[in-house]
Structure formats: C-alpha cells, structure tokens
Chain A
C-alpha cells in the first residue's frame, strides 16, 4: 500500500445545529485520483472545504503525511501543498492571467519574480493559456478561466489538488477542455480529489469513486464496482436518477 498523503478520521462538521458531515473516514494515497459523487447538499463541498481549511472541522481530524493539519502544521504552508480549484473559478479580478499565477508563488512560497514568472508560463502552457497572459479574468470564457485557475493551483507545486465541481459552471461546449486538462494531470501522477457530476470522468479517469450521502460516505470502491455493481440501495437510486436525466 502506497503512503497515505491525506487521512481523514471521523471528520464532523456542523453549521450551528445543522450537522452536515457526520462521520467521514477515508484516505488518499500519492498519485491517486478520487472522484466524489453524491446528490446536492450531501456535504461534498463542505468536506473539500474542511480539507483546505476554508471551514473549521467541528470533530475528528485530518492528517497530512501523518500530521494534524490544524495543530501540527502552519495553515498557509499546508494550503500551498493542498490547493483548491473552485466551481466559480475565483480568479483575482484585479490581476491579469500571468499575475494570477505569480502572486501566490511570490507571497506564499517566497519565490523571486523571475522564477515565479517562468513557473507560471510553464503551467499556463500546459493548460493552453499562454496566448492570454495579458487578459483580465473578465475578458475570458468560463473554460479559459478554469484552465487559468488550474494553472494557478499548479504553480504552487502542490502535492494534492482539490476540485469542487470544476465544470459545473461551464457552458457544455467548454466542459471538455477543462476535463481533458484534468485527465492529463491525473495521468501525470497528480494526487487529486474531484467532486463532480461528470460521471464519465469519474468512471474513466478516477482510481476510486466515493459516493456521499447525507453527511456519510455511503459507498466507495473502484469505478467499475461503484458504477457497475453498486452494493447499496442509496447508490443505486442516485445512479439511476442521475443516469436517467
């Protein structure tokens, strides 16, 4: 068994009286791509946000290479290693494409301007956005924004990338360009947790699929198991509802 990069133990999160994550347990190994599926409101985003510490867990613990991310690690250093890509892109509106990919490197990692620029260009090239380095986010299409957001994340040289429905805000014709970037990333050995409604991506690209339901992990396994022979009633219901849409 490969080394666990992230281990989640009995993670709980409530908003006030409302328990959203009830008892989440799972680990991800280096190089693994895990897809998280489940109906809306089941707590998928909350789980990713807890892993990125955008939300503070109310119970349990999250370990990064065996260290508790809340008590044993410095938040900013940890986040630079476990970055997040959002459904709504969240590019910096005041900066152009290149600067978007440089600012995190210079402020968080303390890289020099030139080195950061080179790194940024390298990853912008990978996502096919070099022609647009001078554009501001508002001048880009959704698919282009998301590719820049991925380059921004990659420029931090992270160990893990968390994707929260990266294609859900995109027009259908732009979904492909983003998924193909993610597929290449997965193949290159990046460790990824991907919350998605793209079942084809979950089935074909991921090493493991997690089905979340009502704040719990209801079922998990290899894609062919979860999609081909789901064991739980909830999973069957979800998949049949989803695939019949």
Chain B
C-alpha cells in the first residue's frame, strides 16, 4: 500500500475529527496570547515604575517586582508540558480531586506561560522608548500612569507587535502539549487517528500539513495587520495652497563632478 493511499484512508475516516481540533487549537492560542499580552503589559508597566520616595511604597514595589521576576524565571525556565500537568493536577489535588474544565484549563496554562515571555518583551519595549517621550509629558504635568497609557504603551505596542505575533504562532504549535491533560485540540485528534488506524506516519503527516497551513496563513494575516497599524505615511495639509512642493534641479554634470 502506498503512502498516498494511507493518507487518503486516514483522511476519509478521521479527517473531520482532526479538522474539528483546529477550532480548539486556534481558540486556545488566540485567547491565551491575548491574556498573555495583558499579563505582560501589566507586569511590564509595574516593572518600569520609577522608584517611589515613600518608604512603604518602595518596599511594596520591591516585593511585587520580586514576585514578577520569580514568575518570569520559573515559567520561562520550565517546559509548558510540565506546567500543564502541575497546574491541572495541582488544582485537582487541592480541590479534592475535582478537575478544571479542559478548555479553560488550557487557556489558563497558555496565558500564564505566554505572559512570562511577553513580560520580558514589554519591558524591553518600554526601556527602548526615548527618555524624551517621558520628559515631554512630565514637563507639562502628566503623571507616570497617564504617560504610560497615552504615550508610551501605544508606541510599545507598535514596536512589540512582531514579537507578539511570533508568540501567537508559537502557541498554535505548542498547544499540542496540552494533549497531556487531555485537551481535544488538533494534535490530540491526530494522535487518536494514528492509534486507531495504525497508520502513524500518514496521520502525523496530515497533522503536520494542517499545522503548517494554520501558521502560514496566520503569519500572513498578522503581517498585514502590522502594516495597517503602521498607518499611512502621508497627511493632508489644510488650506496651504501657497505651499508648493520644492523643486530640486541637479544637472548631470554637477552630480558627476560632485
């Protein structure tokens, strides 16, 4: 039997189930990335708060920063598969065996994990903003918080969008590890098709093709979105008929000699 026949057999029998896993994969990845972004933004903002003068506030901020650091280090330094097991079974352990519903559990795990990465991305994004932006707003009386909301975060968002898109694509692929707690996403169905049909190679080839189509399409869509957010390069000049465009004449000889 040829591979092609294997593939078409698996596809005709299990294609619909495998495809039905796409929905969960995409839902968990999208919501997980968005919540992760929110976590990252909040952490990134907290981590870049200037040192307060009030001693109590200073201590509180130090403790909070320490907690955020531990969170980032732990969740970046351990596999998401292990995090999934610990969060899922840890919850069950502490709640007399009752488990979290699977999809919300998957979303929580992906959110927390993504949040750890995006926290670092946001911090880098805030630090890279020119100090003049902070001083410009401080000089007219805007508070640190107002500056963050109206001036800094919009610029940071624009700068980190490619990194966040990247996290989203990583999540599409990495939600596959959630099958360890039994979340019925794409990988889960492909694995069960493999088990039931005994056509392992063909089943995973199908899964591979679907993952690739997903990430490829999503990457293109995100690129387009990035370009739209970049905004237009031109602006309308109002009532300036007197302003005519400058004309620059450079004769061939001049440019050759210069």
Contacts and interface: CB of A to CB of B under 8 A. Distances in A.
A94 B140 contact: no
Query: Quick one: which of B136, B143, B151 has the most chain A CB within 10 A?
Result: B136
B138 interface: yes
Given A130-B238, A133-B238, A90 B135 contact: yes
A94 B154 contact: yes
Nearest to B241: A131
Interface in A114-143: 130-136, 139
A90 B132 contact: yes
A105 B42 CA distance: 26
A88 interface: yes
B99 interface: no
A91 B237 CA distance: 19
Interface residues of A, number: 36
B155 A94 contact: yes
B137 interface: yes
A78 B133 CA distance: 19
A83 B139 contact: yes
Contacts, number: 89
A79 B141 contact: yes
- Contact count band on B: 20 to 34
B35 to A, nearest CB: 24
Nearest to B155: A94
Contact of A139 (B132, B143, B154, B235): B235
Contact of B146 (A95, A107, A152): A107
B132 A152 contact: no
Nearest to A133: B238
B140 A153 contact: yes
B133 A96 contact: no
B240 A104 contact: no
B239 A130 contact: yes
B236 interface: yes
B141 A104 contact: yes
A153 B142 CA distance: 12
A110 to B, nearest CB: 11
A170 to B, nearest CB: 16
Closest 5 CB pairs of A and B: A90-B136, A80-B141, A79-B141, A84-B139, A90-B132
Interface of B: 132-133, 135-143, 146, 150-151, 154-155, 158, 231, 233, 235-240, 243
Interface of A: 52, 54, 75-80, 83-84, 86, 88-96, 103-104, 107-108, 130-136, 139, 149, 152-153, 156
Given A93-B155, A107-B150, A153-B140, 9 more contacts: A76-B142, A76-B143, A79-B140, A86-B139, A90-B132, A94-B151, A95-B151, A103-B151, A130-B238
16 contacts: A54-B138, A79-B140, A86-B135, A90-B132, A92-B133, A92-B136, A92-B151, A103-B151, A104-B137, A104-B141, A107-B143, A108-B146, A131-B239, A132-B237, A134-B238, A156-B141
